[in-house]
Amino acid sequence: MPQCPPITPARLTVSNLGASFPTDDGLVRSVADVSFSIQPGKTTALVGESGSGKSVTSLALMRLLPRSANVQLGGSAAFVTREGRTLDLLRIREREMRALRGNQLAMIFQEPMSSLNPVFPVGEQIAESVRRHQGLGRRAALAHALRMLDLVEIPAAAQRLHAYPHQLSGGMRQRVMIALAMACGPTLLIADEPTTALDVTVQAQILELMRRLQAETGMSILFITHNLGVVAQHADDMVVLYAGRVLESASVRALFARPAHPYTQGLLACLPGKARLPGEPRPRRLFAIRGQAPSPLAPAPGCAFAPRCERALAECSAALPPLSTVRPDWQVRCARVPPEKLA
Rounded Cα–Cα distance for residues 147 and 152 (Å):
9
- What is the average per-residue pLDDT within 318-330? 85
Res. 301: pLDDT tops 50: yes
pLDDT of residue 275: 46
Rounded Cα–Cα distance for residues 241 and 221 (Å):
17
- Of 61 and 5, the structure prediction assigns the larger pLDDT to 61
Strands (E), the chain: 12-23, 26-38, 43-47, 72-80, 86-88, 105-108, 188-192, 220-224, 237-242, 245-251, 324-327, 330-332
**Are 46 and 222 in contact, with CB atoms under 8 Å apart?**
yes
pLDDT of residue 279: 58
pLDDT in tens, 127-167: 999 999 988 999 999 999 999 999 888 999 999 999 999 99
Q: How many alpha carbons fall within 13 Å on the CB side of residue 258?
A: 10
Least reliable range by pLDDT among 87-91, 103-107, 207-211: 207-211
Rounded Cα–Cα distance for residues 126 and 184 (Å):
10
pLDDT in tens, 229-286: 889 989 999 999 999 999 999 999 999 988 999 999 988 888 775 445 555 556 556 6
**Which residues neighbour 282 within 8 Å (Cβ) at sequence distance 6 or greater?**
272, 273, 276
pLDDT in tens, 47-81: 998 889 999 999 999 999 988 778 889 999 999 99
Res. 2: pLDDT tops 50: no
pLDDT of residue 67: 84
- What is the average per-residue pLDDT within 6-28? 86
pTM: 0.88
pLDDT in tens, 93-114: 999 999 999 999 999 987 777 7
pLDDT of residue 298: 75
Res. 8: pLDDT tops 80: no
pLDDT in tens, 18-55: 999 988 888 888 998 899 999 999 999 999 988 899 99
Rounded Cα–Cα distance for residues 132 and 143 (Å):
15
By C-alpha distance, which of 28, 10, 6, 22 is closest to 77?
Answer: 10
pLDDT in tens, 164-196: 999 998 888 988 998 999 889 899 999 998 877
Taken in order of first residue, the domains within the chain and their CATH numbers are 12-103+189-342 (3.40.50.300), 105-183 (no CATH)
